[in-house]
Every structure is written in C-alpha cells, then in structure tokens.
C-alpha cells in the first residue's frame, strides 16, 4: 500500500474511477484519456487529471493512460492487492450479508468471522463463516491481529460493541448502527447510515423536481 | 419537506447532528449549544452554527437550541415525517436485510416490496415483504407511483435493472452493486460501494499509523 499524501476528497473518488474503468471493454479502450473519464463520469477534466496525477505517472501524449495499467495502479494504491482480515459484530441480516459477500476479496479484504451478543446465534455459520459469542472477540482479535471491525448490531448495543472492539485492539471501525459512537481519538470511525443516505437521496429528488 | 437551498455538504452533515442529538439524554440536555455539538462531534463551531442556521432559527442566547425542537426541525427538513415508498431489486442477502430493516420508518421511508431476476425467488417473502419477479416492476411502480429504487443485484445485472427502473418511472436510485451505472441525466444515482468504503477506511488506518 502506497504512502503518498492524497486528500480525503481525492481518495474518495479513486474507487469511482476503478468501477468505471472496469465497466468498459479493455479491448475497445486499450488507452483512455482523463477527458474521456471526466465526460463519462460527469466530472471536470482538470479534476480527473489532478486526481490521477496524484497517484500515478501521466498518460502518453494523445493516447492517455493504458486502461489496464491505470486500474492496476489505482488498485495497488488503495491496497486491493494486499489481503487484510476484518470481523463483523452483529450477525443479523446485514451482518450476515457482509459475512457472505464474496466481493470483499477484490478490495483486499477478508471478512473472516462474525460475533454476536446473543449466545443462541453463537457457533452457527453464515455460509462458511463462523459466528462466535462476543465474549470471544478480544482473544480472537488479539490472536489474529485484527485491526478492522464492522458494527451491524442494533443501535442500543453499538456503543458497547465499539468499546469492546477498542479493548480488543481494533483501530478502524465501520459502523452501520444509526448512532453516534464515542471512541478514543486514535480510533478511526466511519459511519454508514443507509437509511439516512436514502432519506438524503429523497431530499435531493424533491429539490430537483421543484427547481 | 422544506425547499430551502442548502449545499450538499451541509445536507450530508444534518443526519449526523440528528444521530448525535438522539444519543444524548434530553432530560440532562434540555438545551444544547452549537459549541457543545461541535466539540462532541470534533467539528468546528462556526461550521456547526452555520449548518444549523441554514435550516432553523438561531438558539436562545446563553442557552442554545431546545434539543427536542432542534431534532424536530432537522427531521422535518429531511422529510423524516412524510412517508414515502421505495422498492428493492435483488432479493439476495443485502436486499433481504434492507427489506426486513424496520428502522427506515424513522427516516420517512418504507421499503415496501422486493423484486428479483430469478423466478425461483419470486412469490417468496422476506419477513412480511413480498418478492416478485422483476417483470412486474414497471406495472407495480407505475400503479403505486414509486420514485425510489434500490439496486442490490450482482454487478452483471445492475445496468439492466437500472434501465428497467428508469422505464418504470423511478427517478432516484441507490446502487449497492460495485459498478458504474449509465442513466439519463434526470435520474439521481447514489452509489454505495461498501467494500470500497471499507478499503478506504483501511488506507486511512495505514496512513495514520505511518504518519
């Protein structure tokens, strides 16, 4: 994984470029220009050129970037080629969906194990991933050096789970519970509140219709 | 739903304020200042004050905002009090999780029906939500005036589903498939690629560790 300093805003756009580049035919697009990418994604050309320049060498004059090399460079930069393990706490429907999603591997991630607060969920399996009681979380994370945890519990358990993750040595948490979590400053927390994102999409829909 | 012009960046922070305000005790915090909110969320006070001022009247001098009224104002602004129906296409694990998630109601949303490409999934139920074959999508959406659709199919079906949604009169799409979708300009698309977000969290973790 590269260590270049790239702003959060640029970082957040890099996966969009990868998704787009993978959606086009490499045979028909051996090379691609930042202008073409910008046009297809509805972004400014200067922005796309700067974004790409921040992680890779410039393309060939008149031809642009080799599409395959560009995908490879972006994926390497984002760590998609180095595997890292993560765990999920909250083995309900969303947790189960994440545990059984095979696509994480393409992003350098392996969601290896699920934990649940309810003992009746323990020792069950989602696809081939085991669910253990959350009391085993600390031992497991320390033994296998797990640094990334995903919270998919109901809101009322999320803070407790967050605290347990921190005690277990987890340093980065993706939180799907619609609650604001308190954690020490050195812990990275990313909240994904799907319902509020859907509500914002709706707000934008009505603003657009009324404008 | 209000029609005030508020930037996308401010809009995206409003749900965070709601989540935070709902996580504190109203009894102990009858009033709350923008300074307190800023401190707790690690944001700048000026930013919080401006964000809140863009959707509601200023708080009382020395006291700040009535916490309950502030939650109410923010929720009204974001449409959480007017119910709207949405549908899901792709009744796999993630689609099933969204169909069975009861929390959407608090955000003014009701995910009423699931559709699937596979006929063997049709006429089944997730909790009490029916799954129908995708061939019924257009009739259903037109009959019930559905404007919001969620795509949780595998990538290879996502563009086809997107096209069918557009034909069915859907105007806003939340897409969980890790693929760039093409749609007419008047269609709002929000992509949520959970795996790439988790990969970015990991990039940030290693940047932090090495800095």
Q: Does A22 touch chain B (CB under 8 A)?
A: yes
Q: Which letter, b or e, does each residue of A130-165 get, where b requires 16 or more Cβ atoms within 10 Å of its Cβ?
A: ebbebeebeeebeeeebbbbbbbbebebbbebbebb
Whether residues A79 and B206 touch (CB distance < 8 A) is answered with yes
Task: Judge whether residue B44 has pLDDT over 80.
Answer: yes
Q: What is the pTM of this model?
A: 0.91
Average of per-residue pLDDT values in chain B: 92
Shortest distance between the Cα of B200 and any Cα of chain A, in A, equals 7
Model confidence at A171, pLDDT cuts 50, 70, 90, reads very high
- Whether A100 and A127 have beta carbons less than 8 Å apart is answered as yes
Task: Judge whether residue A67 has pLDDT over 70.
Answer: yes
Model confidence at B210, pLDDT cuts 50, 70, 90, reads confident
Provide, rounded to the nearest whole percent, the portion of chain B with pLDDT above 70: 96
Give the ipTM.
Answer: 0.92
Per-residue pLDDT at B143: 97
Whether residues B100 and A93 touch (CB distance < 8 A) is answered with yes
CB-nearest to A196 from B107, B204, B207 is: B107
Whether residues B200 and A1 touch (CB distance < 8 A) is answered with no
Model confidence at A209, pLDDT cuts 50, 70, 90, reads confident
Q: Does B184 touch chain A (CB under 8 A)?
A: no
Q: Does A194 touch chain B (CB under 8 A)?
A: yes
Model confidence at B60, pLDDT cuts 50, 70, 90, reads confident
Model confidence at B3, pLDDT cuts 50, 70, 90, reads low
Average of per-residue pLDDT values in chain A: 92
Per-residue pLDDT at A127: 72
Cβ–Cβ pairs < 8 A, chains A and B:
190
Tokens standing for residue A160: 């407790």
Per-residue pLDDT at A4: 59
Task: Judge whether residue B125 has pLDDT over 80.
Answer: no
Whether residues A180 and B108 touch (CB distance < 8 A) is answered with no
Residues 6+ apart with CB under 8 A from B137: B87, B89, B115, B164, B165, B168
């Amino acid at each position: 994984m590269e260590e270049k300093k790239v702003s959060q805003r640029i970082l957040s756009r890099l996966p969009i470029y990868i998704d787009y580049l993978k959606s086009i035919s490499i045979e028909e697009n051996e090379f691609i220009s930042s202008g073409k990418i910008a046009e297809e994604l509805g972004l400014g050309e200067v922005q796309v050129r700067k974004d790409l320049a921040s992680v890779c060498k410039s393309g060939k004059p008149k031809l642009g970037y080799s599409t395959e090399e560009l995908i490879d460079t972006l994926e390497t930069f984002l760590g998609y080629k180095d595997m890292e393990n993560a765990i999920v706490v909250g083995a309900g429907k969303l947790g189960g969906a994440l545990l059984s999603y095979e696509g994480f591997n393409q992003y350098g991630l392996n969601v290896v194990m699920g934990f649940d607060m309810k003992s009746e969920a323990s020792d069950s399996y989602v696809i081939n991933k085991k669910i253990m009681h959350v009391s085993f979380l600390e031992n497991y994370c320390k033994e296998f050096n797990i640094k990334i945890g995903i919270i998919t519990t109901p809101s009322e358990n999320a803070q407790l789970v967050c605290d347990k993750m921190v005690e277990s040595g987890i340093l980065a948490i993706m939180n799907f519970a619609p609650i604001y979590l308190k954690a020490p400053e050195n812990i990275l927390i990313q909240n994904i509140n799907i319902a509020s994102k859907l509500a914002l999409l709706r707000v934008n829909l009505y603003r657009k219709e009324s404008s």
